[in-house]
A and B are shown apart, each in its own frame.
Chain A
Amino acid sequence: MGTVTVEKGRYVPKGAFHQIEAGTPIHDESGTLCGVTKPRNMTYMHSYGGEAPFFQAVSEKARLLATRCDNPACAGKGTMYLPFRVYCPDCLAKMTVVDVTDVVNKVATIYTYIVTERSGAFNTLEKPIRFVDVAFPGTAFGTLLKGYMVGPGQPAIGKRVVPVFRTGAPAYNIQDLAWALEGTTADQLPKGFTFSR
């Protein structure tokens, strides 16, 4: 498996990044050739750019960062954003990064949800997946946040949830942030997850 570092501003891939595999013919019942398979295994090197502080805080520090527009000339001044946005959607000023872990711990509520046994290829979440969209009532957040639930219980609109973080074995993607029903105890969380620190 390949790994990547950044050196002097460039991606430096090391190791195996693709395995070459021959295709195979596709015939119909009569033996007539219809086509050919094209197997491929590729790895992208993807930048989190200005959103990297959010993912680093989630995966390494068990903290939740948001952004806030502090531009005094902006009609939306004071609005908070989670999903974390680098620039204000109204004035395009670079926003201030704020740690919202404590406030989210107190107010996060399920706005809507779905439970499904379905997933696409490459899914690594345990099924059934409990998708939750989380609201932050009574705050300056103008947004909701999509995630998934772990721990005991089932989601319902209006239920209080708290963020939990997969700092034990982080994947460094949004899966490292999950939500547990308020009242869930540490021993009820899946391995690798923790409450905020």
Chain B
Amino acid sequence: MIRFSDRQLRIPKQSRPVYLVTAGMSQFGRAFPARKTEELCIDAFVMAAEMLGMSPAELKTYIQMGLYGHFADHFGDQLLGEAVIHDRLGLDPLPGLGVKTGGATGGYTTLAATMAIASGQADCVLAMGWERMDEVPTDEGNFLISCAADKDWETFLGQIYTGYYAPMAQRYWQVFGKREPSFRETLARIAVKHRGYARFNPFAHGAMKITIDDVLKSPVVADPLRALDACLMSVGAACCVICDEATANEIHKRAPHMKPLRIWVGAGTHTLRPADRRDMDIPLLPNETAEQYKDLEQRFPGADRYPGFTGFLAARMAAFYAYGMTGIKDPTVDLDLVELHDAFTISDVQTYEDVGIRPYGEGRTYVESGDCYHTNPHTGLPGKLPSNLSGGLIGCMHAVGATGIMQIDEVAMHLWNRHAEVHGAPARWKAFGKEKPADWTDLQVKGAKRGMAVSHAGVGSHVTATILMDPDALLKKEGC
């Protein structure tokens, strides 16, 4: 049983307001044999400068520190890759710091960036994440990823992360999904949605126009998960620039088209080995009561322990802290869009529950209601809380160290009302060597003021919930 002290449940407080002022990404792909990692990072930084109408050199004059997210030294065969990127960006001799938290590296890098600003360590920092996953054969890549499991107790078992992740999906599938074909179809709808949204995203490399049937007939990876249920393995970089209020105002004067956004990051962890998950009471979010879970096991036989293998405690805690920091009571009411960590379709559903979009056991209804779509397929009206309009990890990319930052960047584009410009520009499609689809659709969430990005590591060892808000649409006025 995990027991929290009151001190441990203290809601974090930024010592001064923190702002996100710009964002940039490279193209994402399965492989870039002709480009080095630092070239992709520079692409991302140059885009961030262009978003502000500045030259890269001008933007660099604001940066006082670099925060770098890079999951796997093994993949790039480069220890201290952070120093390489810092140098190639021409940021020496400023301070630079590397962050590694598996799949949540991007989110935790952003957390470190907000901490640097909130504490006064710096007034303006760069958060840059990347991953190089194409320089080893795929099976060796799978081996390297399996090294992020416990090397003595797990890695030797198959040398593949599927063996550690998929059993969790199996448990969810049987307990909360009740092995219903309709639930299997709901999972397929997520894959169709994310690969479909990726078709309108020039940065994405998993774009596909597919049907539910295509998903259900794709090769089995580990029942019930099939190939089209799984995320991509990607190469690419993403960055954002985070600063204090004075710097944000100064930059905003030079770039009045880019309103600085308030940013907070809640974070949680849980055991690297799922085996070590001890039973505990469900930590409640503001829109939940203990009463509603009293009969959980009756409704879902097998839901006899929390988090068991059906929930991600780290995600629950990240949301707990993030909602407390920002005043969010109900994410489906207070947020306008989310980007979630859809490593697999089923973990996407698990996350709906962990972050309170739906109660535990009812995640599937977020999809089945149509709430998660840009346009609700049942009503033709805007979805209540659109998710993963970028295509997510399934459709856009999973360049691990960059993923969490890409998600934040994509939410920010909506809040800046620049989604269509960034994703629809013919020049960008052309620069990436792609043909813009004839049916390209503007996925801008109209009037978006608040969004969230969830960055998640492995079987749930680290998770962050990053909240972005238009400073004129804050939910909590007092303090930071």
Q: Are A121 and B143 in contact (CB under 8 A)?
A: yes
Let me know if B222 and A157 touch, CB within 8 A. Answer: no
Can you spell out 5 A-B residue pairs with CB atoms less than 8 angstroms apart?
A83-B153, A114-B170, A143-B278, A146-B164, A148-B158
Nearest CB of chain A from residue B231's CB, rounded to whole Å? 15
Cβ B156 vs Cβ A175 within 8 A: yes
Question: Would A122 and B277 be within 8 Å (CB), given that A111-B309, A112-B168 are in contact?
Answer: no
A32 to B156, CA, bound (A): 39
**Residues in A whose Cβ lies below 8 Å from that of B1:** 76, 142
B168–A116 touching, CB < 8 Å = no
Find A116's partner among B143, B166, B174 (CB 8 Å cutoff): B166
- Indicate if the CB atoms of B163 and A114 lie closer than 8 Å: yes
Q: Shortest Cβ distance from A16 into chain B, in angstroms? A: 22
- The reply to whether A125 and B273 contact each other, CB–CB distance below 8 Å, is no
Q: CB < 8 Å: which of B156, B222, B223, B275 contacts A145?
A: B275
Report chain B residues within 8 Å CB of A112: 167-168, 170-171, 174, 309
Nearest 3 CB-CB pairings of A with B: A120-B159, A120-B142, A120-B143
Give the interface of A toward B (CB within 8 A).
26, 28, 32, 34-35, 38, 46, 48, 51, 55, 75-76, 81-83, 85, 89, 111-116, 118-123, 125, 129, 131-133, 142-148, 157, 171, 173-175
Known pairs A28-B33, A112-B171, A116-B158 / 13 extra A-B pairs, C-beta < 8 Å: A112-B170, A113-B167, A115-B222, A115-B223, A116-B162, A119-B160, A121-B142, A121-B159, A123-B159, A131-B164, A143-B278, A144-B309, A145-B275
How many residues on B have C-beta within 8 angstroms of the other chain's C-beta atoms?
Answer: 47
Is there contact, CB below 8 Å, between A144 and B139?
no
B140 engages A114 (CB within 8 Å): no
Chain B neighbourhood of A51, CB < 8 A? 152
Residues of A within 8 A of B243 (CB): none
- Whether B163 lies near A129 (C-beta < 8 A) is yes
**A133 in contact with B274 given A112-B309, A113-B167, A125-B157 (CB within 8 Å):** yes
**Cβ-based interface call for B276 (8 A):** yes
Q: With contacts A112-B167, A113-B167, A131-B166 known, is A121 near B154, CB below 8 A?
A: no
Given A76-B1, A118-B222, A157-B174, check contact A144 B274 (CB 8 Å).
yes
Within B81-107, the residues touching A (CB, 8 Å) are none
- Is there an interface contact between A116 and B142, defined as CB atoms closer than 8 Å? no
- Establish whether residues B139 and A121, one from each chain, have CB atoms under 8 Å apart when the complex forms: yes
A/B pair count, beta carbons within 8 Å: 138
State in angstroms the CA–CA spacing of A188 and B146 once bound together: 30
Interface assignment of B221: CB less than 8 Å from any CB of chain A: yes
A163 to B16, CA, bound (A): 56
Q: Which B residues touch A116, using CB under 8 A?
A: 158, 160, 162-163, 166, 221-222
Given contacts A133-B309, A144-B274, contact A174 B222 (CB under 8 A): no
In the complex, what residue of chain A is closest to B3 when comparing beta carbons? A75
Contacts of A143 in B (CB 8 A): 275-278
B278 contacts which chain A residues (CB < 8 A)? 142-143
**B65, chain A: closest CB distance, angstroms:** 32
Which single member of A48, A81, A125, A131 contacts B167 (CB below 8 Å)?
Answer: A131
Which residue of chain A is the closest to B223 with respect to CB atoms?
A: A115
Q: A114-B167, A146-B157 are in contact. Are A120 and B152 (CB under 8 A)?
A: no
The contact string, 1 if C-beta is below 8 Å from chain A, for chain B 19-33, is: 000000000000001
B34 at interface (Cβ–Cβ under 8 A)?
A: yes
Query: A120–B139 contact, CB under 8 A?
Result: yes
Residues from chain A with a CB closer than 8 A to the CB of B154 are 146, 174
Chain A residue at minimal CB-CB distance from B165: A114
Query: Which residues on A sit within 8 Å (CB–CB) of B223?
Result: 114-115
Q: Which of B406-459 contact A (CB under 8 A)?
A: none
Question: Closest chain A residue to B175 by CB distance?
Answer: A157
The residues of A that contact B145 with a CB separation of less than 8 Å are 120
Minimum CB–CB distance for B79 against chain A, Å? 14
| A122 in contact with B279 (CB, 8 Å) | no
Q: Is B297 an interface residue (CB 8 A)?
A: no
Confirm or deny: B281 has a beta carbon within 8 angstroms of a beta carbon on chain A: no
B167/A34 in contact, CB under 8 A: no
